[in-house]
Amino acid sequence: MEFEKLLIQITEIFHQSIKQYKEKLLGTSRFSDVTLSHLFYLEAIYHLENPTLTELADHLNVSKASATAGVQKLIKKGLARKVQSSADQRVYHVSLSRDGMKLIEAEIHAFADFAENIKSSLTESEIRQLTNIFQQIIKHSRM
């Protein structure tokens, strides 16, 4: 039970740290209505580098209709844009808008800041131990 409580506390610290960093970087109200689902879509678009709607749907393991609806929400919020392919007019590519890119960059910086805070509170030996533990968790969590 203590392990579960500690894991919950670490998760809460992580989320609070990310939230504070983003608020410092972006302000509190500008992106306050962005949901976790929106972030999943934004991160996928960022990592896939201008995917088609089909590629995005496949990556997120959702239907093309769901991906289209998700992208439409991002477009409405000004976080993404959809551009018709010049090679095949049935195909649309999705990219991040300037605000979408700012949000993803804030996420990346916030995570790096959180990781640096953890590293600065540990010895080199503890960092190696934690790295090994994380590697074991990842190895046994893959599907």
Q: Is residue 142 part of a domain?
A: no
Q: How far is CA 119 from CA 27, 127, 136, in A?
A: 26, 7, 19
User: Higher model confidence: residue 17 or residue 81?
Assistant: 81
For residue 64, what is the DSSP state? Answer: H
**pLDDT tens digits along 114-127:** 889 889 999 999 99
Q: Is residue 138 part of a domain?
A: no
Q: Is residue 95 part of a domain?
A: yes
Q: How far is CA 15 from CA 21, 34, 87, 96, 122, in A?
A: 10, 14, 42, 23, 20
Q: Is residue 123 part of a domain?
A: no
Q: Is residue 18 part of a domain?
A: yes
Amino acid residing at 72: Q
The Cα–Cα gap between 60 and 46 comes to 13
For every residue of 90-106, DSSP letters joined together read T-EEEEE-HHHHHHHHH
Q: How confident is the model at residue 46 (pLDDT cuts 50, 70, 90)?
A: very high
pTM of the shown model? 0.76
Region 35-46: what's the mean pLDDT? 91
The Cα–Cα gap between 47 and 45 comes to 6
Domain around 79 = 2-117
The Cα–Cα gap between 113 and 119 comes to 10
Question: What CATH number has the domain bearing residue 75?
Answer: 1.10.10.10
Q: How confident is the model at residue 142 (pLDDT cuts 50, 70, 90)?
A: low
Q: Is 79 exposed, middle or buried (0-12, 13-18, 19+ CB in 10 A)?
A: buried
Q: How many domains does the chain have?
A: 1
Looking at the predicted structure, is the pLDDT value of residue 81 above 90? yes
